[in-house]
Amino acid sequence: MPVHNEEIAAIFEEIADLLEIKGDNPFRVRAYRNAVLTLRGLGPDVQTFLDQDQEPTKLPGIGKDLERKIREILATGTCQALEKLHKELPLSLTQLLKIPGLGPKRVRALYQQLHIETPQQLHQAAADGRLQTLPGFGVKTQQHILETIKSQLDASKRFKLDIVTAYAEPLVAYLKKTPGVQDVVIAGSYRRLLETVGDLDILVTASSESSVMQRFITYEQVQDVAAQGDTRATIRLRCGLQVDLRLISPQSFGAALQYFTGSKAHNIAVRRLARRQGLKINEYGVFKGKRQIAGQTESDVYQALGLSYIEPELREDRGEIEEARAGRLPRLITLADLKGDLHLHTRYSDGYNTIEEMVDAARERHFEYIAVTEHSHRLKITHGLDSRHLRQQCEAIDQLNATLKDITILKGLEVDILEDGRLDLPDDVLSELDLVIGAVHSHFNLSGEKQTQRILRAMDHPYFTILAHPTGRIINKREAYDLDMDRIIGHAFERGCFLELNSHPKRLDLNDIYCQSAKAEGVLVSINSDAHRVVDFNNLRFGVGQARRGRLEKKDVLNTRTLPELRRLLNQTMK
C-alpha cells in the first residue's frame, strides 16, 4: 500500500521525540527533525522521486541513513528504529512533549519518578498536587499544565489546515479521474479555510454509470469504511481523518454546496431571509411552494434571495448577508495580489537554503521583492545574528542586489523583543536595515498588562517596522499569550507601523477577528511566509486564506504594494 509523505514524516518525528526524551545525541535528533520539515514541504510523494530515479539524498536534510529508513518505510510501512524505541519507552510519552514548558528533561523526570506516561495521567497528577514533589514544578506550573492539557484535549479532534490539505488534494485528484465524474468539490470548514478541520465533506456530480462511490471506498489511504450507500459513503483515512462523500444531482449541486459549506450560523441567517420572502431553502434548492427556482449553482441560490455571491471565507454571519443585499461585500485579496514576502530566513541563521536559492524561488512567483530577516542573536537555538554577522549579511545582499534586475532583496531582521520591551540589537545596526520585524520568543506567561506594555514599548522604538506573529499562539499546542490586542492595534496606527499575518499553518497569526480589527483601524497587515526553505513560500496560500476570512482587501495589505510604494511606507515608520 502506498505510503504518504506525511506518514513518513510522522514516523521520523516520533523517532526524534523519543530520542530526545532518552537524551540521545542532539545532532542525531536534529537530523530527523530536518527530514520531517523536508518531507512535509515536498510536493510529490517520495515514491515519485524513486520512480523517477531521483535519490532522496538529493533533498535537503536527507542523508544516506535516512534514505535507507525512507526506503524501509515505503516497503514495510514502519521502521525498525522506531520499533526498537517503542520497546524502550512508552509511545505516549511523545504527547507530553507537546505541552508547553515540558522539555525532554522534564518528561524524563515525570516518567522515571512519577511513572507518568500520558497527558491524562499528568493532568491527574497536577490536580492531585503530586507534581510539586519534583524540582521545577511549582504551583504556577501545575495550574498551567491543568489549563494547557484541557485545551489540548479539546482541540485534539481537529487537524491543522496544511495536514488536511496534504490528504484532501490527492483524494480530489483521484476522484476526478473517475469516468463519468463532472464535479468534485470539498465543502465544510475546509472550503471556508478555517485554521483547523474536523472532517471533510466532498460533493460529487457524476453519471449514473460512474463507479465513483466504489472508487472512493477503495482509495489507497482508507483505514476503514464506516458507511456505504448509493449516494453517500463515509471513510476514515489512515491519518484518522473522516471523509464523507455525497453524490449530488446537477440541478441541486449549488444548493448542496452552499448548505454543506456552512457555517451553521450563516445558513440559519440565509434560511431566515428566505422565509421572510416566502421561500424555502435547503440542500436541494430554493423553492417557491413546490417549484424549485434555484439550486444548480451557488450564485443562483444567492441571487434568488436578492443577494450577490458571498465568498465561502465570509460565511460566518458577521454582517455578510446585509452587505450582499446592499452590494457592499469586500473584494477579497488573492494570492496573485502579493508582490513580495517580508519575512524569511536563510542559512545565515536557521534556514535551509541560501539567499540565492530563496531569490530564485521568489522569482518563480513573480515577486518584485523579498526581505531577508534572520533571527537576532538572543535566540541561541536559531543561530541568530549578532551585529557583526548581520553587517556581513547586509554586505552580501548589497553585492547580490547589484547583479539582480527583476527582483530586489531588502535587508531586515527578526529581532527579539526582550522582557522589558527593548530590542535585541543596538540602534546603530538597526538603522542600517530596510525593515525591522519585532518578535516575542520568550516570557510568554507575563500578565496581560506586562505583556501588552512590553510590546507597546517595542513598537515605540524608532526602527520598529512590523510586529511578527502578534499573539504568539501555536495552533492546537499553545494558546495566545495574554495581551490587549485592541491597544496593540490602536498603537500600531498611532505609531505608523504594521502587523504581520504569519502564514505558517501552525500559527496563522493574526487570526481573522484581529485582521478585521486592523482593517477597521486602518493598520496595514503584512502577509508573510516566515519561510525557512524555498517550499515554505507555499504557506502564503494559507495566510491569504486567513486574510480573506478577516475581510482584507488588496488595499489593506502592506506587501501588495510595488517596491517604490513599499519603500515609502517603510521609511515612514523610521522616526
pLDDT digits (tens, 9 = 90+) for 324-347: 999 999 999 999 999 999 999 999
Which residue has 535566540 as its cell numbers? Answer: 379
Work out the angle at residue 287's Cα, subtended by the Cα atoms of residues 284 and 292, and round it to the nearest 5 degrees.
Answer: 70
Per-residue pLDDT at 375 exceeds 90: yes
C-alpha to C-alpha distance for 506 and 475, rounded to whole angstroms: 5
pLDDT at 1 over 60: no
Confidence of residue 381 (pLDDT cuts 50, 70, 90): low
Tell whether the model's pLDDT for residue 223 goes beyond 70.
Answer: yes
> According to the model, what pLDDT value does residue 114 have?
87
Number of neighbours of residue 42 by Cβ within 10 angstroms: 19
pLDDT value at position 378? 80
Whether the per-residue pLDDT at 208 is higher than 60: the answer is yes
> CA-to-CA distance for 108 and 112, rounded, in angstroms?
6
The packing angle between helices 485-495 and 512-521, to 10°, is: 40
> Does residue 399 have a pLDDT over 90?
yes
CATH number of 5-155: 1.10.150.110
Average pLDDT of span 380-404: 90
- How much is the pLDDT for 21? 86
255: pLDDT confidence band, cut at 50, 70 and 90? very high
Whole-number average pLDDT of the chain: 90
Residue type, 132: Q
| CB contact at 8 A, 485 and 470 | yes
CATH superfamily of 252-326: DNA polymerase, thumb domain (3.30.210.10)
Residue 218, pLDDT above cutoff 70: yes
CA-CA distances (angstroms) from residue 52 to 44, 45, 46, 56, 76? Answer: 11, 11, 10, 11, 20
* pLDDT greater at residue 221 or residue 147: 221
Q: Is 177 exposed, middle or buried (0-12, 13-18, 19+ CB in 10 A)?
A: exposed
Q: What is the pLDDT of residue 179?
A: 96
Over residues 54-61, mean pLDDT: 70
Amino acid at residue number 467: L
The answer to which of 45-54, 106-115, 156-165, 290-299 has the lowest mean pLDDT is 45-54
Q: Which of 191-205, 216-230, 247-261 has the lowest mean pLDDT?
A: 216-230
**CB environment 233-257: b (16+ within 10 A), e (fewer):** bbbbbbbebebbbbbbeeebbbbbb
pLDDT tens for 446-475 read 999 999 999 999 999 999 999 999 999 999
Confidence of residue 382 (pLDDT cuts 50, 70, 90): low
Highest mean pLDDT among 141-145, 206-210, 308-312: 308-312
Residue 499: strand pairing partners? 467, 525
Q: What is the pLDDT of residue 144?
A: 76
- DSSP state at residue 498: E
Average pLDDT over residues 40-63: 72
Q: Residue 337 carries which DSSP code?
A: G
pLDDT above 90 (res 157): no
Q: Taking the model in full, what pTM does it have?
A: 0.80
Q: Look at strands 232-237 and 199-206 and give their pairing.
A: unpaired
Q: Under a CB-based contact definition with an 8 Å cutoff, are residues 270 and 281 in contact?
A: yes
Q: Is residue 428's pLDDT more than 70? A: yes
Per-residue pLDDT, 575? 59
What confidence tier does 302 reach under pLDDT thresholds 50, 70, 90? Answer: very high
Of 135-139, 304-308, 559-563, where does mean pLDDT reach its minimum?
135-139
Distances (CA, A) of 50 to 5, 56, 70, 104, 354: 13, 7, 11, 35, 26
DSSP state of 479: P
**Amino acid identity of 301?**
V
Could you tell me the CATH superfamily of domain 335-573?
A: Metal-dependent hydrolases (3.20.20.140)
315-331 mean pLDDT: 95
| pLDDT above 90 coverage of the chain, percent | 66
The domain limits of the chain are 5-155, 159-247, 252-326, 335-573
Is the separation of the CB atoms in 365 and 537 below 8 Å? Answer: yes
pLDDT digits 0-9 by tens, 94-121: 778 777 777 788 888 888 888 888 877 8
Residue 506 pLDDT greater than 80, yes or no: yes
Q: How confident is the model at residue 483 (pLDDT cuts 50, 70, 90)?
A: very high
* Confidence (pLDDT) at 151: 64
Q: What is the DSSP string of 305-316?
A: TT-----GGG-S
Q: Is the peptide bond before 376 cis (omega within 30 degrees of 0)?
A: no
- Note the helical H segments in 385-511: 387-401, 427-430, 448-459, 485-495
Q: What is the pLDDT of residue 291?
A: 95
pLDDT at 43 over 80: no
At residue 235, does pLDDT exceed 80?
yes
Least confident of 130-134, 138-142, 168-172, 515-519: 138-142
Q: Reply yes or no on whether the pLDDT at 39 is more than 80.
A: yes
CATH class in words for 159-247: alpha beta
CA 567 to chain centre: 28
> What span, in angstroms and rounded, lies between the C-alpha atoms of 563 and 569?
10
In tens, the pLDDT along 85-96 reads: 888 888 778 778
Q: Residue 122: which pLDDT band, with cuts at 50, 70 and 90? A: confident
Grid coordinates of 146: 491543568
Q: What is the pLDDT of residue 36?
A: 87
421-453 b/e with 16+ CB inside 10 Å = b?
bebbbeeebbeebbbbbbbbbeebebeeebbbb
Q: Which of 362-371, 473-482, 505-514 has the lowest mean pLDDT?
A: 473-482
Percentage of the residues of the chain whose pLDDT score is greater than 70 = 95
pLDDT of residue 115: 85
More confident residue, 555 or 84: 555
